[in-house]
Structure 1
Amino acid sequence: MTDTHWLTPEQQRMWRLLLDAHAVIFRRIDEQLHTDSELGSSEYSVLVRLSEAPETTLRLNQIGTYLGWDRSRCSHLIRRMEKRGLVDKKTCAEDGRGILVSLTDLGAERLSAAAPGHADLVKSMIFSDLSSDDIETLSTFYRRIIERRDLGNRP
């Protein structure tokens, strides 16, 4: 049995601040998105990725990877979005197994309605108190976390 390596008091404070800040940020983002466009944050994330994709289309598994979700959870989200007219879904002609998800005109309209308020909110909540050096330091920090996840390594 290995010894547990507990967080130091300083690490514990920082970790709890990170969790609390994350909750505040995403609760506020969800409120803004719902008010401006009747979208949830996951739906908004999908619409953003689709809007940036070639021909505004991605494979379902690409969306799942982006969200960090399993296929079932992602399929349920896309099914709900399709019922609301935000995306179209069809079988991939190349392999017949994959599902292609495309942005609809209504999805693009909802994204356009949400984006200005979203950008304003993110700027005011996140970037208003950060210097360029702070942004670079945090960007490096988050990039390292993502790289470890992508490599499947533990810190």
Structure 2
Amino acid sequence: MDTPPSARNVRWLSETEQDVWRGFLQLSRGMERAVDRQLQRDSDLSSSEYEILVPLSEAPSEGLPSRELLRLLGWERSRLSHMLSRMERRGMISRSPSPTDARGLVVGITAHGREVIENAAPGHLVLVREAFMDLLDEEESSALLGIAEKVLPRLEEMGHR
């Protein structure tokens, strides 16, 4: 049996590391809340619905296999299934049997879903620019991208993504 983390020789965060970690959490959660509020207010969309519509709007006309969508989003299967059912009821997506995988589904964006994302994207991008991207210089943007490229694969290795 593994020793619980609390009993291991844990390397505690320094004061500076705590500041970095807590600042990152506040930034991440603050941006998520701002995006949620903006999308709900301006488009009657949740950020989860928007997150699904983006890859579907960029996909080939036949849609994406649900397994691919699951991989892209990094979600639990039950969460995706729930969101797809909700979005299908709202007429934004369609699901059909996969022509190549007997157990799989292909998820496609409907004309209504395309209209919804095309209407939502401008306001979303204004928020992202004004609250985030326009505040970063090229070096900060590159640093943030580099951090994501290091951390995300590590989370995948650890089974957390």
TM-score by length of 2: 0.89
Match of 1:54 in 2: 60
| Percent of residue pairs identical | 36
Match of 1:110 in 2: 116
Matched, 1:101 2:95: no
Q: Return structure 1 stretches of 4+ with deviation > 6 angstroms.
A: none
Structure 2 counterpart of 1:146, from 139, 142, 152: 152
Match of 2:4 in 1: none
> Which amino acid is 1:27 matched to?
R
Match of 1:25 in 2: 31
2-structure distance, mates of 1:127, 1:95: 40
| Secondary structure, counterpart of 1:90 in structure 2 | strand
Listed as ranges, the matches of 1:1-150 within 5 Å are 2-55=8-61, 57-150=63-156
In the TM superposition, residue 153 of structure 1 has moved relative to its aligned partner by: 8.0
In the TM superposition, residue 56 of structure 1 has moved relative to its aligned partner by: 5.5
| Alpha carbons of structure 1 residues 120 and 56: separation in structure 2 relative to 1, 3 Å | farther
Give deviations 1:80-122, integer Å, cap 9, x for gaps. Answer: 1101101001111222210110000111111011100111100
In the TM superposition, residue 151 of structure 1 has moved relative to its aligned partner by: 4.0
CA RMSD of aligned residues (A): 1.6
| Secondary structure, counterpart of 1:55 in structure 2 | coil
In the TM superposition, residue 150 of structure 1 has moved relative to its aligned partner by: 3.8
Unaligned runs of 5+ in 1: none
Question: Which segment drifts farther, 90-99 or 80-89?
Answer: 90-99
| Alpha carbons of structure 1 residues 118 and 59: separation in structure 2 relative to 1, 3 Å | same
| Secondary structure, counterpart of 1:102 in structure 2 | strand
TM-score by length of 1: 0.92
Unaligned runs of 5+ in 2: 1-6
Give yes or no for contact 1:87–1:102 (8 Å, CA) kept in 2.
yes
Give yes or no for contact 1:50–1:56 (8 Å, CA) kept in 2.
no
Give deviations 1:52-78, integer Å, cap 9, x for gaps. Answer: 111151111112122211211111111
2-structure distance, mates of 1:120, 1:81: 24
In the TM superposition, residue 138 of structure 1 has moved relative to its aligned partner by: 1.0
2-structure distance, mates of 1:38, 1:2: 47
| Secondary structure, counterpart of 2:8 in structure 1 | coil
> Which amino acid is 2:28 matched to?
H
